[in-house]
Amino acid sequence: DDLGSDVEIEAEIDEEAEDDLLGGLLIDSTGEIEVPDRLVDQVIGQEHARDVVMKAAKQRRHVMMIGSPGTGKSMLAKAMSELLPPEELQDVLVYHNPDDGNNPKVRTVPAGKGEQIVEAHKEEARKRNQMRTFLMWIIIAVVLGYALLAIGNILIGIIAAGIIYLAFRYSSRGSDAMIPNLLVNNADTKTAPFEDATGAHAGALLGDVRHDPFQSGGMETPSHDRVEAGGIHKANKGVLFVDEINTLDIRSQQKLMTAIQEGAFSITGQSERSSGAMVQTEPVPTDFVMVAAGNLDAMENMHPALRSRIKGYGYEVYMDDTIEDTPEMRRKYARFVAQEVAKDGRLPEFEAEAIEEVILEARRRAGRKDHLTLKLRNLGGLVRVSGDIARGEGADRVTRDHVLQAKGRSRSIEQQLADDYIERRKDYELQVAEGFQVGRVNGLAVMGEDSGIMLPVMAEVTPSQGPGQVIATGQLQEMAEEAVQNVSAIIKKFSDEDITEQDIHIQFVQTGQQGVDGDSASITVATAVISALENVGVDQSLAMTGSLSVRGDVLPVGGVTHKIEAAAKSGCDRVIIPKANEQDVMIEDEYEEMIEIIPVSHISEVLDYALEGEAEKDSLVDRLKNITGSALEKAGEG
């Protein structure tokens, strides 16, 4: 068996030009790139998960996939269904049970047989009905004839004929009850089923029996005809995929586990007050392979027994968020664009330059040096928006310019919110991006996954009544305390002020935003506190992000690219980032000229750039520079 990773692109490659964006692919457009037939061969990266899926398909094991959204979990689950043997597929029929109408019988037959059986029953019922109808008309004719000839009263004849007609109609309903209900039909299925039960309610997952408003009097629908299959039954011999497994209610998780253990699960009405709840079928086969997915928390909140069931009888894999940027990988990304175009079916082919722009974006979104993002659902979104723009213009190819336009449009909700937020704050002049101010620093934070916002921090120092306290707003209290603690060792060393006798108030201006992470704000807090303590102004045209160690080292943080862009959009001229993050910077061209990026590795450099006034600043910075790890340890002892 060849692994998907070995499926090379069948196009000419210029070995000399491997370092360019297309990895040396000699093509004019995506039209020249062949898309592999098997889904498993279309998967980009995720080599480990792909190997596991291939192995698990062979062994019919369950798989738990942990990872970020849009990295290919459902794609792999679907790919797995293509790898399962389709010969084993079955149809499931539900029959009326003459001994107990509320306990329909269940029969399993090879795929394709189900339709034939139902047809045969229908044919038989039709013949029987024809016979009956024929008989009925004969009797009616005889009665009418008798009434006319013998009694001489046609009215009595018509009334009698009417009664006979209704009696036949009524009793013929009974014969429909003999036709089985084809619950699961795999007649036209070429590959093993793939059922996505993500977010399914109990009925859709476990099956249901419809309510019958006419429960008697000859109008009722026989109970076996009201039975509906759930995802677990439709997935029989195939794959049941459940993403965000933890959001499934606990009862459903328990039942899912029973279905996995028993390989069969009876169907009953899910709504307790409906007449369907009285019906319970014989067990219906649920011999599926389960692919459960989610992020890390999903695992923690998942029913422990279900998790151990999957773990004990299957595999757990992690999905990668990024992959190393090699020429071969970039060629695969070119094929990814071709795949997305083929999948959509309406998009024009992409020109080579347009593909290059998508690959550049994959680099930029990786947020990591020499890597490409594997959050390919979003990248696929960019491909579609680019294609739609081209289509809107009536262009027959997607060009680089279309992709550039699309980048502006395919912004995530968080990005749009962040932009809107920056705009509104500009209106209210909450944003300060010029002059100097004591105790106020423009910090930066990440919102959602892919956008940054400027988050100013204000610090004020007041003499304390008791022992000095750090007072911060909201959920950032802990982070603020930690940042102050780290910086206090440093401050102790050089400042005349004794911060243990002061209250330090820290305010995060407008933290009403959801999903703002405070972790990376510690150099911001430190700078604000030092500025407030020493009464020295901070440059407001500067923004910063970075974490701080007790030794005054500036440590790397996440999301630098988005943060830098947010600083630029907010009107800042300069932005301080940790030196260790320098390689993660992949800002868009439009921002490159708007803002100067200053990588730093020690808090003394931060203050050097941020604080006002040469003289005071110099002495502060000098004092800070002398602080080394060993000096601090001594300070700590003393």
Type of residue numbered 260:
I
- Rule CB under 6 A: choose which of 9, 22, 43, 441 binds ligand ADP: 43
Would you state the structure tokens that stand for residue 489, as one six-digit string?
A: 């060792």
Q: To the nearest 10°, the Cα dihedral for 310, 314, 315, 316?
A: 0
- The CA–CA distances, whole Å, from 81 to 97, 226, 227, 259 equal 34, 29, 26, 19
Residue 598 contacts residue 541 (beta carbons within 8 Å):
no
> Considering the complex, what minimum distance in angstroms separates the CB of residue 252 from ligand ADP?
20
What character string, x for contact with ligand ADP (CB under 6 A) and - otherwise, covers 73-92?
xxx-----------------
- Rule CB under 6 A: choose which of 265, 288, 333, 336 binds ligand ADP: 336
Judged by CB under 6 A, how many residues of this single chain contact ligand ADP?
19
Active-site entry in 237, 407, 563, 579: 563
> Considering the complex, what minimum distance in angstroms separates the CB of residue 305 from ligand ADP?
24
Could you report how far apart the first and last alpha carbons of the chain are, in Å?
A: 67
Using DSSP's 3-state secondary structure scheme, residue 325 falls into coil
Active site residue 520: yes
Which residue is closest to ligand ADP by CB?
A: 72
Verify binding: residue 494, ligand ADP, rule CB under 6 A: no
- Rule CB under 6 A: choose which of 31, 69, 556, 558 binds ligand ADP: 69
> Considering the complex, what minimum distance in angstroms separates the CB of residue 612 from ligand ADP?
49
Verify binding: residue 45, ligand ADP, rule CB under 6 A: yes
Verify binding: residue 44, ligand ADP, rule CB under 6 A: yes
**Residue indicated by tokens 């059986």:** 117
Would you state the structure tokens that stand for residue 611, as one six-digit string?
A: 């604080």
Verify binding: residue 374, ligand ADP, rule CB under 6 A: yes
Verify binding: residue 411, ligand ADP, rule CB under 6 A: no
Measured CA to CA, the distance from residue 380 to residue 495 in angstroms comes to 54
Q: Among residues 243 and 287, whose Cβ is nearest to ligand ADP?
A: 243
Verify binding: residue 323, ligand ADP, rule CB under 6 A: no
Measured CA to CA, the distance from residue 442 to residue 546 in angstroms comes to 12
Measured CA to CA, the distance from residue 179 to residue 126 in angstroms comes to 11
Q: Among residues 320 and 351, whose Cβ is nearest to ligand ADP?
A: 320
Q: Among residues 201 and 377, whose Cβ is nearest to ligand ADP?
A: 377
Verify binding: residue 442, ligand ADP, rule CB under 6 A: no
Verify binding: residue 386, ligand ADP, rule CB under 6 A: no
Quick one: which of 354, 326, 323, 327 has its CA closest to 338? 354
**Residue indicated by tokens 């320098």:** 582
> Considering the complex, what minimum distance in angstroms separates the CB of residue 241 from ligand ADP?
8
Verify binding: residue 71, ligand ADP, rule CB under 6 A: yes
**Residue indicated by tokens 């498993």:** 40
Q: Among residues 204 and 374, whose Cβ is nearest to ligand ADP?
A: 374
Quick one: which of 631, 22, 20, 6 has its CA closest to 331? 22
> Considering the complex, what minimum distance in angstroms separates the CB of residue 30 from ligand ADP?
14
Would residue 448 be called left, alpha or beta, if left means φ above 0 and alpha means ψ between -120 and 50 degrees? left
Q: Among residues 340 and 351, whose Cβ is nearest to ligand ADP?
A: 340
Active site residue 274: no
Verify binding: residue 338, ligand ADP, rule CB under 6 A: no
Binders of ligand ADP in range 211-250 (CB under 6 A): 243
Q: Among residues 78 and 579, whose Cβ is nearest to ligand ADP?
A: 78
Verify binding: residue 362, ligand ADP, rule CB under 6 A: no
Q: How many CA atoms lie within 13 A of 396 on its CB side?
A: 1
Measured CA to CA, the distance from residue 67 to residue 70 in angstroms comes to 9
- Rule CB under 6 A: choose which of 30, 46, 223, 373 binds ligand ADP: 46
Q: Which long-range contacts (CB under 8 A, 24 or more apart) does 386-391 make?
A: 386/350, 386/354, 386/358, 387/341, 387/344, 387/346, 387/347, 387/348, 387/350, 388/347, 390/347, 390/348, 391/346, 391/347, 391/348
Active-site entry in 520, 531, 547, 570: 520
Contact residues: ligand ADP, CB under 6 A: 42-46, 69-75, 243, 336, 340, 374, 376-377, 380
Residues designated as active site: 520, 563
